Amino acid sequence: DNYLKLVELTLNIGTQVNLTYGPTTARQKAVVKAFKHAWKGYKRFAWGHDHLKPISEGYEDWFGLGLSIVDSLDTIFIMGLKEEYREARDWVDKHLHFNINRDVNLFEVTIRVLGGLLSIYHFSKDEMFLTKAIDLGDRLLPCFESDSGIPFSDINLFTRKAHAPKWSPDSSTSEVTTIQLEFRDLSSASGDPKYENAADKVSRHVHKLEKLDGLVPIFINANSGQFRSYATITLGARGDSYYEYLLKQWIQTGKAIDL
């Protein structure tokens, strides 16, 4: 197994929470103060919703998954904010459910929600977070059930029906090649290889496709498994993270994977 062992950090969950992290310098304390200010506004005006709208003092729901809470858990942990951590954990435990009749984007939910749950799981060793991550991973897997194995970009978390975006028949190249870290980590944490296998198949497929001096078009069709013939090649949006994650996957797998 070439998977790099993650650094194990412990947190005692229960009535007694023992956090050993927190700010130690003036600059760190200033950052924590700024975070607490932002968190206070989110808690007051947008608690449980995806995003705070600070000017209108309202909220916005992108996917309806409490993105700000899930995405902040590891930061809260590192900052040593005990009360904020307890509140966030309690919300995830009692209110974060994925059986919602709503389309979500595979890439965005993977990096924000699945990644957030896995990150705080590794810090806390709290099985509740891993259970949530496994449930979400299972609901996202049908995206990979295309003719080529290249995932569809969107999926309904309740029906588990995946499809291309409404505005295009193709998936974004950067999106389908930027989910491997979380799916590989989910397999490592859960002991079930199906998540890594699905995501790794994508990387290996893209690796075999013809490219222009190693550069890839920004769209790829899930059914044919081919790049769009007239697609743009760019280091910007929809192409950028493909190149970033070649390095990240190599590091994650112990510098052993050749993509």
pLDDT in tens, 137-149: 999 999 999 999 9
Instruction: Between 252 and 91, name the one with better pLDDT.
Output: 91
Tokens of 31: 């950052």
3-class SS of residue 15: coil
- pLDDT tens for 132-175 read 999 999 999 999 999 999 999 999 999 999 999 888 888 999 99
pLDDT-based confidence at 123, cuts 50/70/90? very high
For 92, other C-beta atoms within 10 Å of its C-beta total 20
Helices (H), the chain: 26-46, 67-79, 82-95, 106-109, 115-124, 127-140, 173-176, 180-190, 194-208, 240-252
Q: Which of 84-88, 198-202, 246-250 has the lowest mean pLDDT?
A: 246-250
CB-based burial label for 243 (10 Å; 0-12, 13-18, 19+): middle
- Cα–Cα separations (whole angstroms), residue 20 to 38, 129, 217: 23, 20, 46
What is the rounded distance in angstroms from the CA atom of residue 74 to the CA atom of residue 85?
9
Predicted local confidence at residue 20, as pLDDT: 60
pLDDT at residue 238 in the model: 81
Residue 16 pLDDT > 70: no
Q: By C-alpha distance, which of 75, 36, 42, 73 is closest to 59?
A: 42
Sheet harboring 162-163: ordered strands across?
103-105, 154-156, 162-163
| pTM > 0.85: yes or no | yes
Question: Residue 44 pLDDT > 60, yes or no?
Answer: yes
Quick one: pLDDT at residue 259? 65
pLDDT in tens, 183-194: 999 999 999 999
Q: What is the pLDDT of residues 223-247, one digit of tens each?
A: 999 998 887 887 878 868 889 988 9
Say yes or no to pLDDT of 12 above 60: no
Confidence category of residue 1, pLDDT binned at 50, 70, 90 = very low
The region of weakest confidence among 9-13, 28-32, 49-53, 104-108 is 9-13
Per-residue pLDDT at 202: 95
Residue 207 pLDDT greater than 60, yes or no: yes
Catalogue all structural domains in the chain, each as residue range(s) with its CATH number.
Answer: 10-96 (no CATH), 98-259 (1.50.10.10)
